[in-house]
Each structure stands twice: as structure tokens, then as C-alpha cells.
Amino acid sequence: MLTKKQKNLLLFINKKLRSTGVSPSYEEMKESLNLKSKSGIHRLISALEERGFIKRLAHKARALEVVKLPETASANDIYNSFSPSVIRGGLDDKNLGNKSGSEIPVLGNIAAGTPVEAIQNEVMRIPMPDNIEKNGEFFGLKVKGDSMIEAGINDGDTVIVKKADTAENGKIVVALIDDNEAMLKRIRRKGKTVALESANRNYETKIFGPDRVKVQGVLVSLYRNF
């Protein structure tokens, strides 16, 4: 069980890592918690490390890695710590040329709101983003709806998904419901139930039995036109 300050610091570190790829400085951590000295940050970091929530990376200054997030973190806590990797303007017609020759298929639409029919056949191909490790299979889907906007995913974005049939709790996935409907949601499993969470306060969490939900892939990046 984490204290409130430990939890807040952990979420702040996670948010900073996701948005910049670099651990926050002790000064930034001190300011985020409104502490008067850095000694309190050192104690909190040590406590989080002892409990297995973070680890220090050897031979790197300011290098921390978040190993896990607390189960007591609310959905809004985790949404606020999520920053998708956005490729700006990537799908304008003038940008569809791919110098590397590596492309991935776009398989139609995915609902970020109410469900749509299951994933369709290939409708176009887009360049593979340069910032993605090329191990595995990938596909794209056009987002329809606004239920994931608090996770930085907007109506009209094209999400890049890595094929997978499993996902860790808290990951944003393409979930296939009853082999018929596909949704882009954050997945959580607890006991014999599967929760598919929206990132929009106007949408309710959907609860299913374990046999009704199949993971099709995990979100890794997205294209957005500006």
C-alpha cells in the first residue's frame, strides 16, 4: 500500500517518462509534490524502489524506470499519465510516400465510442512509423468516436496497433467482442470479468465475461493530421 505522496510521485514520474522519455529531475519532483527539500524525494524514491514500483537504471544519471503502477490508481490517474506517440501530419496525401519501403495495412475503422462491426479488410497502406521497433506484425485502424480523448486519441486519428492476443492490465487494446464487434479501449481483468474502459467521463465502463473478449492488438502509436 502506497502513501498518497508515494503514489503521486510515481504517477508523476510515469507521466514524465511517457511524455518525454526522460526521468524528471529531483527539482521537478520536489515542485510537483510541493515539498521544501529534495531529501523528502530521496526517501520517497527509496520507498518506491523497495516496494518494486520503480528501479534505478545503472550508469545513467536521473534514470528511473516505472515497473508497475498501483492497483488503487484511478482511471483518471492513468489516463493523465498516458501520452501516445503521435506522428504529426503523417497521412496527408503528400506524405504517403515511404522512403524506407516498409508499410502496414489499414483495416478500416475502429470504434472509440459505441461498437462497430468487427475489423474489416485492408482499405489502404501507410508508412511504418520510424519510431517503432520493427519486431512483430502491425496494422492501422481509423478511429471513429471520442471515448478515448482523455488518453490523447481523437476522432479521425489513425492508430498503429501491434498484433497480440494478450495485454497487460491498463494497456489500450483492440478488443473483439463476441467475435463480432471491435472497440479501442483500455483493458482490465479482475477475477472472472474483463473491463473495457473509456477515457472519457461521458462513457461507462463495459464489463464482460472472460470468454467474450479477445485481444487483437495493443496500441503503440498514432497518426494525426494537423
Residues marked as catalytic:
147, 185
Residue type, 221: S
Long-range contacts made by residues 161-164, C-beta under 8 angstroms, separation at least 24? 161/216, 161/217, 161/218, 161/219, 161/220, 162/136, 162/137, 162/138, 162/217, 162/218, 162/220, 163/136, 163/137, 163/138, 163/139, 163/216, 163/217, 164/136, 164/215, 164/216, 164/217, 164/218
Q: How far apart are CA 147 and CA 153, in angstroms?
A: 8
